[in-house]
């Protein structure tokens, strides 16, 4: 009965504010003239320097060093703000904010948590930060405790021990004394509910204590006493001279009744008191816990046969100390929940004590953090509830923000800020919540999101955690927030579009099909699958020699690989089961010519490929044959390989023989696969066979010879075989899409330059004007002169070669896997180097799906942009996507990431064809089966079919993606169904 009385009491108060209408209409107007805007961070999340200059370990150092976060990530370096705080202040300056809310690392200033361990370097660090802020008229708003308790204090009982009250007070006193002449806004504790429940209730946060029945109540009791004692210390010892304000930051979702029933409304109110009132009621009302909380926990404890309530009791003296012990209330608010009445008597737990459960609306947008649902109207309702409960208290919004994967074009964050801050404005202007004084965006920059590591990004500024220098880059939301601060609200004439519409719509899925003769296929290469490395007269290739030298991971080789030399019929059966029309495979040059010359033609090698081609045709599968997929005969390498222009004639002899042997049945020829890999990885940095590291000039010489070899072979086919066989000859070039990291003139130019240095290097001579791209010629010549050379390191074509080059292909093959972010960066000219010649910096977006290959991040829209670039630059040539695929660890046949990849990339290819007019003629999935992945051996798996490399018969098994790809082929795309 007593609970019903309390429920009725709560419903009577002020008409029950959580019945406020959810107004969706946008409200234009200004915030009050004295309203203040800021941004926030926390020490452990950004500082790094975890043991620099005498800092002691905190409980979060200990906790995450146990590999408790995503990917075993930790805050050892984080955003490196310990060394880069001046850059952080410049970010704040660019936003135009009035204040910066940051926290002090207790263990940086007092390594063992006590003043006796005072660390001068740590003390000075925060002086430096504060002085830098004041230099730019940015008010420091300092949080004393943001969850990172010194480990030594935790070893003495931490927040479960009463002694923590004095430890915290001693720490606070010294901070007030040290910084109080410059700091006028203090927050004692950030989100004590997280400390008590996640740290001591569920053990999912540091220090990892699991006591759900009693731990949170004991810890809350000490947190409240520690806060109030520190407040009283400030008022007694420092306020007269410093005139600062002290508050506490409390976190809460808005608790919306699931129904209009009295029971659910009472449940909603009850849950608000348990989550927010547990701290706010003692501090801002009467010095004690809410009555409903005291009653509920006492009743539950009695039912659990306990002699007294699990909720501790404040003494009368403590109540007097606690009551009124704050000058403002800080509110961290992100989301809302529907609350409904739900009695629990299962086991003692803070979670069960309120007799409530929660749910959410499935239509609410979810942030990257699964718990964060976008419910803007909850902000307004919460502000009205606080006005009712604590009417004379100033309110600071000390955190509010949205998580995503870290894209610079963060429209979701803009939408979130716009909606939530507008609801805040409604609360002030329409509801009379005039005590709301500040708004703090969480967060200034991407940081360590505790257990989520670096996978969830809340920042207005991106921090590139893959780089040692941790560069900061403004996101679109930073520009939005800057203008919001400048306008102090939402004027009607403000155009709030900060992300181009084409980017907003970029990932839209379309329905449609390819033309009926579109070529669907799968791809492999000889060295990666054949095995039989020295059988039936085959000579050694550079990859045999390279792998036998132990240069592959785990000293693996392609000696057996998938054993396709003996199992090609199984491969054809796999292709047939997929329903493909084409199979792209390569010829092993040293299987056909043991030393690479006509003097060592090997009939058994020719027979092998005749058998494979005939088997394909017997199953209505067209062969698409690559002449060279990186496996040069070692005999030719010994004569200079691609560094020597003699390779042109050797390759032409090989090509002529292949055309004559197989051309009656092969109608699609590719001369070279990814010549960039041959030149740069093989001869520039030496991480691929033949392992030559000559990055300044040999890379250009090798490319020059490859292009000339291709052109000669093309004209050989054109002059001697086309009229008989009517086939087509092309070349396959690999290229990541190069996206400007920022939408600036400099970065756009850098991205274009990167495309010209990668794809244009090979494509422009053949599909363009016959010569290297102008930007390459100009840039490399300039750098060569600065390096004291008499001529450019980039070779020149003769006039005759220019004429022969132009148009020397019937199609272009594109191997595409991923996207790079490119920005302008001046590089040193001291040492000749292909990469430094470009004056660019390359990175990835954390939003792109990671694969087993470190260089490969799934980003489907990149393929559309690359295909359109090729179309626009080279007069719409015929294009075959000759490789595209995704790697995993091969441990599961349920390869859902690969399915996502194929669906996304093929759909973007369809967009390129349908919406951009790209003349794309076919798609070859990489790869038909798991194989030898070059330097990575058998550790990366791209296959649609799994290959068991631990068995002699190399058993092939279809993965889940095989069915997906088969359906795409059967549907010829993505028709409406």
What's residue 673's pLDDT?
A: 98
Q: Which long-range contacts (CB under 8 A, 24 or more apart) does 120-126 make?
A: 120/54, 121/52, 121/53, 121/54, 122/53, 122/54, 122/55, 123/178, 125/53, 125/82, 125/85, 126/178, 126/179
What's residue 504's pLDDT?
A: 84
CA distance 50 to 54: 9
Strand partners, 582: 521, 622
What's residue 592's pLDDT?
A: 98
CA distance 646 to 74: 55
Name the 3-class secondary structure at 1. coil
Instruction: Tell me which residue of 646, 634, 547, 546 sits closest to 596, measured CA to CA.
Output: 634
CA distance 787 to 633: 35
CA distance 426 to 485: 17
What's residue 23's pLDDT?
A: 59
Instruction: Tell me which residue of 292, 332, 254 sits closest to 13, measured CA to CA.
Output: 292
Residue 138 contacts residue 182 (beta carbons within 8 Å): no
Element (H, E) at 652: helix 647-662
Instruction: Tell me which residue of 401, 379, 373 sits closest to 461, measured CA to CA.
Output: 401
The yes-or-no verdict on residue 195 having pLDDT over 50 is yes
What's residue 346's pLDDT?
A: 80
pLDDT tens digits, one per residue of 328-372 = 999 999 999 999 999 998 889 999 999 999 999 999 999 999 999
The yes-or-no verdict on residue 2 having pLDDT over 80 is no
- Count of all residues that appear for the chain in the document: 977
CA distance 640 to 280: 79
CA distance 737 to 817: 9
Name the 3-class secondary structure at 438. strand
CA distance 796 to 792: 9
What's residue 7's pLDDT?
A: 36
- One-character DSSP codes across 357-406: EEE--TTS-B-SSTT-B--THHHHHHHHHHHHHSTT-EEEEEE----BS-
CA distance 945 to 3: 63
The yes-or-no verdict on residue 923 having pLDDT over 90 is yes
> Rounded mean pLDDT of 406-420?
97
Q: Which two tokens stand for residue 958?
A: 């279809």
What's residue 51's pLDDT?
A: 96
- One-character DSSP codes across 310-332: SS----HHHHHHHTT--SEEEEE
CA distance 35 to 527: 68
What's residue 16's pLDDT?
A: 39
Provide the sign of the torsion angle of the four alpha carbons 57, 60, 63, 65, taken in this order: negative
Name the 3-class secondary structure at 190. strand
The yes-or-no verdict on residue 121 having pLDDT over 80 is yes
For tokens 């806004």, what's the residue? 185
Alpha helices in 99-214 (DSSP H): 106-109, 120-135, 151-155, 164-179, 192-193, 199-200
The helix-helix angle for 603-618 and 647-662 (nearest 10°) equals: 50
CA distance 90 to 145: 25
158: left (phi over 0), alpha (psi -120 to 50) or beta: left
Residue 863 contacts residue 737 (beta carbons within 8 Å): yes
Q: Percent of the chain at pLDDT above 70?
A: 98
Please list the active-site residues.
399, 883
Instruction: Tell me which residue of 19, 11, 10 sits closest to 292, measured CA to CA.
Output: 10
pLDDT tens digits, one per residue of 639-681 = 999 999 999 999 999 999 999 999 999 999 999 999 999 999 9
Strand partners, 733: 814
CA distance 737 to 815: 11
Name the 3-class secondary structure at 148. coil
The yes-or-no verdict on residue 632 having pLDDT over 70 is yes
What's residue 20's pLDDT?
A: 55
CA distance 766 to 729: 12
Name the 3-class secondary structure at 867. helix
Other Cβ atoms within 10 Å of 506 Cβ, number: 16
Instruction: Tell me which residue of 630, 718, 728, 628 sits closest to 671, measured CA to CA.
Output: 628
Q: What is the mean pLDDT of the chain?
A: 96
Other Cβ atoms within 10 Å of 362 Cβ, number: 7
Residue 706 contacts residue 655 (beta carbons within 8 Å): no
CA dihedral 770, 773, 779, 781 (to 10 degrees): 0
What's residue 5's pLDDT?
A: 32
Q: Which two tokens stand for residue 207?
A: 């220090």
- 443: cis peptide before it, omega within 30°? yes
The band of 21, judged by pLDDT with boundaries at 50, 70 and 90, is low
CA distance 463 to 467: 9
290: left (phi over 0), alpha (psi -120 to 50) or beta: beta
Say which residues have a Cβ less than 8 Å from residue 595's Cβ, sequence separation at least 6: 539, 633, 634, 635, 636
Calculate the alpha carbon distances from 255 to 259, 280, 775 in Å.
12, 16, 60
CA distance 763 to 339: 62
CA distance 926 to 888: 13
Q: Which two tokens stand for residue 802?
A: 């220019």
pLDDT tens digits, one per residue of 786-836 = 999 999 999 999 999 999 999 999 999 999 999 999 999 999 999 999 999
Instruction: Tell me which residue of 920, 926, 930, 927 sits closest to 973, measured CA to CA.
Output: 920
Residue 359 contacts residue 264 (beta carbons within 8 Å): no
Domains of the chain: 33-507 (3.20.20.80), 523-974 (3.20.20.80)
Say which residues have a Cβ less than 8 Å from residue 929's Cβ, sequence separation at least 6: 524, 529, 562, 571, 574, 943, 944, 945, 946, 947, 956
What's residue 503's pLDDT?
A: 87
Q: Quick one: DSSP state of residue 158?
A: G
What's residue 977's pLDDT?
A: 82
Q: Which two tokens stand for residue 480?
A: 């939005």
Q: Quick one: DSSP state of residue 601?
A: B
pLDDT tens digits, one per residue of 79-96 = 999 999 999 999 999 999
Q: What share of the chain is helix, strand, coil (3-state, %, to 5)?
A: 45, 15, 40
CA dihedral 588, 594, 598, 600 (to 10 degrees): -150
Q: Quick one: DSSP state of residue 710?
A: H
pLDDT tens digits, one per residue of 151-180 = 999 999 999 999 999 999 999 999 999 999
First to last CA, the chain: 59
pLDDT tens digits, one per residue of 729-779 = 999 999 999 999 998 999 999 999 999 999 999 999 999 999 999 999 999
According to DSSP, the β-strands at 245-251 and 185-190 are parallel
């Amino acid at each position: 009965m007593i609970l019903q009385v309390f429920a009725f009491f709560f419903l009577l108060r002020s008409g029950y504010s959580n019945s406020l209408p959810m107004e969706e209409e946008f409200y234009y107007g200004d915030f009050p003239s004295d309203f203040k805007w800021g941004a926030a961070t926390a020490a452990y999340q950004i500082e790094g320097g975890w043991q620099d200059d005498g800092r002691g370990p905190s409980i979060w150092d200990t906790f995450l060093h146990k590999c408790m976060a995503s990917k075993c990530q930790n805050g050892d370096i984080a955003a490196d703000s310990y060394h880069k705080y001046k850059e952080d202040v410049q970010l704040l300056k660019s936003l135009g904010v009035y204040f910066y809310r940051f926290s002090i690392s207790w263990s940086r200033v007092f390594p063992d948590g006590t003043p006796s361990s005072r660390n001068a370097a740590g003390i000075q660090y925060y002086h430096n930060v504060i002085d830098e802020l004041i230099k730019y008229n940015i008010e420091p708003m300092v949080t004393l405790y943001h969850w990172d308790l010194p480990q030594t204090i935790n070893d003495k009982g931490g927040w479960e021990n009463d002694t923590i009250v004095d430890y915290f007070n001693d720490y606070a006193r010294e901070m007030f004394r040290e910084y109080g002449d410059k700091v006028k806004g203090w927050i004692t504790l950030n989100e004590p509910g997280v400390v008590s429940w996640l740290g001591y209730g569920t053990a999912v946060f540091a220090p990892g204590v699991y006591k759900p029945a009693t731990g949170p109540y004991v810890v809350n009791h000490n947190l409240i006493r520690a806060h109030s004692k520190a407040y009283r210390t400030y008022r007694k010892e420092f306020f007269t001279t410093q005139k600062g304000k002290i508050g506490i930051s409390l976190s809460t979702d808005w608790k919306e009744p699931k129904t209009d029933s009295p029971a659910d409304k009472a449940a909603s109110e009850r849950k608000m008191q348990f989550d927010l009132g547990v701290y706010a009621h003692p501090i801002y009302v009467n010095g004690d816990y809410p009555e409903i909380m005291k009653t509920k926990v006492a009743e539950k404890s009695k039912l659990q046969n306990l002699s007294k309530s699990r909720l501790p009791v404040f003494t009368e003296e403590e109540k007097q100390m606690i009551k009124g012990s704050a000058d403002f209330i800080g509110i961290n608010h992100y989301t809302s929940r529907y609350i409904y009445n739900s009695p629990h008597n299962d086991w003692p737990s803070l979670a069960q004590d309120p007799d409530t459960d929660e749910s959410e609306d499935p239509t609410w947008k979810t942030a990257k953090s699964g718990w964060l649902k976008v419910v803007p109207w909850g902000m307004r309702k919460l502000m009205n509830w606080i006005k009712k409960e604590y009417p004379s208290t100033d309110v600071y919004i000390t955190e509010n923000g949205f998580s995503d994967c870290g894209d610079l074009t963060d429209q979701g964050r803009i939408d979130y800020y716009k909606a939530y801050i507008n609801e805040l404005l409604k609360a002030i202007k329409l509801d009379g919540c005039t005590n709301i004084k500040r708004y703090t965006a969480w967060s200034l920059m991407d940081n360590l999101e505790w257990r989520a590591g670096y996978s969830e990004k809340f920042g207005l500024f991106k921090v590139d955690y893959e780089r040692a220098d941790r560069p900061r880059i403004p996101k679109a939301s930073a520009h939005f927030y800057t203008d919001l601060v400048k306008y102090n609200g939402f004027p009607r004439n403000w155009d709030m579009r900060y992300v181009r519409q084409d980017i907003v719509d970029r990932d839209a899925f379309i329905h449609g099909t390819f033309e009926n003769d579109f070529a669907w296929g799968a791809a492999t290469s000889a060295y990666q699958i054949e095995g039989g490395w020295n059988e039936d007269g085959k000579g050694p290739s550079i990859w045999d020699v390279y792998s036998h030298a132990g240069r592959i991971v785990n000293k693996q080789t392609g000696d057996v690989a998938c054993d396709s030399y003996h199992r090609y019929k199984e491969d054809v059966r796999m292709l047939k089961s997929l329903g493909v029309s084409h199979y792209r495979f390569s010829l092993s040059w040293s299987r056909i010519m043991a030393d690479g010359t006509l003097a060592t033609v090997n009939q058994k090698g020719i027979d092998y490929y005749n058998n494979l081609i005939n088997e394909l045709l017997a199953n209505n599968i067209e062969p698409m044959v690559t002449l060279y997929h990186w496996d040069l005969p070692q005999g030719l390498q010994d004569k200079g390989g691609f560094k020597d222009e003699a390779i042109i004639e050797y390759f032409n002899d090989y090509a002529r023989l292949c055309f004559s042997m197989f051309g009656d049945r092969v109608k699609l020829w590719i001369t070279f696969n990814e010549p960039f890999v041959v030149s740069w990885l093989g001869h520039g940095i030496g991480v691929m066979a033949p392992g030559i590291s000559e990055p300044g000039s040999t890379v250009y010489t090798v490319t020059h010879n490859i292009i000339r070899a291709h052109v000669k072979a093309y004209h050989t086919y054109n002059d001697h075989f086309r009229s008989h066989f009517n086939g087509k000859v092309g070349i396959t070039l690999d290229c990541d899409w190069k996206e400007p990291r920022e939408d600036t003139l400099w970065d756009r130019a850098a991205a274009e330059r990167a495309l010209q240095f990668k794809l244009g290097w090979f494509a422009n001579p053949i599909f363009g004007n016959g010569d290297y791209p102008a930007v390459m010629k100009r840039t490399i010549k300039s750098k060569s002169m600065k390096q004291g050379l008499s001529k450019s390191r980039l070779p020149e074509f003769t006039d005759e070669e220019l004429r022969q080059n132009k148009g020397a292909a019937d199609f272009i093959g594109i191997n595409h896997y991923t996207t790079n972010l490119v920005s302008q960066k001046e590089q040193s000219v001291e040492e000749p180097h292909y990469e430094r010649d470009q004056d660019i910096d390359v990175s990835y977006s954390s939003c792109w799906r990671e694969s087993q290959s470190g260089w490969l991040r799934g980003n489907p829209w990149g393929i559309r942009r690359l295909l359109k670039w090729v179309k626009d630059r080279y007069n719409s040539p015929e294009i075959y996507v000759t490789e595209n695929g995704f790697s995993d660890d091969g441990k599961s046949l349920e390869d859902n990431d690969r399915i996502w990849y194929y669906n996304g990339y093929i759909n973007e290819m369809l967009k390129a064809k349908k919406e951009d007019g790209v003349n794309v003629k076919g798609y070859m999935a990489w790869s038909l089966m798991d194989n030898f992945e070059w330097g990575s051996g058998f550790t990366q798996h791209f296959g649609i079919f799994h290959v068991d490399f631990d068995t002699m018969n190399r058993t092939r098994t279809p993965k889940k993606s095989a069915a997906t790809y088969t359906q795409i082929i059967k549907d010829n795309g993505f028709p409406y169904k």
